[in-house]
Structure 1
Amino acid sequence: MHVIVTRPVGDAEPLKSTIEALGWRVTLAPLIDIVSNDIPADALRDATSLIATSRNALTPALGSLIDLPFFAVGPGTGAVARGIGFTKVVEGPGTGAELVPIIASRRAELGERPVYLRGDVVAFDVEGALGEAGIKVKAVNAYRSVAAEALDPPMIKALRNGDIDAVTLMSPRTAKTWARLVGALSPPVQLSGVTHLCLSDRVVEALGQTEKDFKVLVALHPNLEEMIALVKRLAANSKAE
């Protein structure tokens, strides 16, 4: 079995190593490049708590703020926060939409100046949703994401030869990028033999395809742990066949 992992290079290793441990071949093909922004010191100076909906927003530079409450979108981001030194970490199930009510239920921990560390492109408007709940946050762009402009020639060759069994898609933007780049290939490639392992229903929607067009499997919950479980499920199904 040959699986394509499309995560940014810095995020791909846990999924890659898990798939390889199953005896499958893995090719890294990042469709989104993450570029950290230099955050001005005054942007965080008066922060009373931090919110992050991606591990990409976290850097060692936050080490001076580790005593603040930290609201993480999911277990993966929470683990990175603890790795930096944060001890007051509250984790959501994995999406911004699910994190908002958790934050709202613990607003006393936010203090007067909560800071939301975000990227330039977000799947859900956390800032707006918190505003509707009466919580004002200061949004700081901690990173930006740059989409790939083309698939690598070896990837295109593998697609044409039917040498790819599955591809992981962990964000709506990654799914859109994959669909755009594959759709631009001429002559078209056949994807009926490729299982698309999607983090959530929103990722499937962004893909612009349905199970009628090609095979799609969706994680039970939108986090890395459930994506790994999804890969193991596919592995078990493949052995059964």
Structure 2
Amino acid sequence: MKLLSGKTALVTGASKGIGRGIALKLAEHGANVAFTYLSSVEKGQALEAELAAFGIKAKGYRSDASDFKASEELVNAIVSDFGSLEVIVNNAGITRDGLLMRMTEEQFNEVIRINLNSVFNVTKAAIRQLLKQKQGSIINISSVVGVKGNAGQANYAASKAGIIGFTKSVALELGSRNIRCNAIAPGFIETEMTGVLNEETVKQWREAIPLKRGGTPDDVANAVIFLGSELSAYITGQVLNVDGGMLT
């Protein structure tokens, strides 16, 4: 059963990892998919072809979500190319881990700019279109680290906690216009980023999780489908932990 047929979805930072998994799952459920990438044109083109194979319209945009003007241009281009924009997945993000005493101002500000400012930029740029349509679902990718904190990730935790506060505020502002805003807080999701960890570290992570396994991009993507579809029509302002019980 395709839950998003005929809708247009935007996924920022979709060339790899969780973002890529989300884009593919959206296409599987019938959504037309616009996505952004920043560094690899080849990966962007490859993903565009994979998405189109589902029989939907797909287009990749080389765009920096942390740039406000670029975000405005992006949304305008998507509306022009696709005709509408119903689902927004703010996924773009980076890490610059390090203990606070060694963390530079640049490392802190870069993570806030890319992880948090980008959510503001894209959401702000899309508001006019969502209000015009009188519908929309905004899904912001936070993290369990934004809920509980983590040593060595003060910048990342601050950015992801900020996303949660932003999400709840937007839900209150736009709920009366039939626009919903929720966040997903992934736990230990096994992607290219976690692939650099040694096996013993990964094993320790898995053992600490009640479900005894790391998550997959599909686990997060399934939550996106739920929050983007009518299955969650009466849900807004919430944080859905996709963490195998890590925060239980």
Tell me if TM exceeds 0.5: no
What TM-score do you get using the length of structure 1 for normalisation?
Answer: 0.35
Structure number with the higher helix fraction is: 2
Higher strand share: 1
Work out which of the two has the higher radius of gyration on C-alpha atoms and give 1 or 2: 1
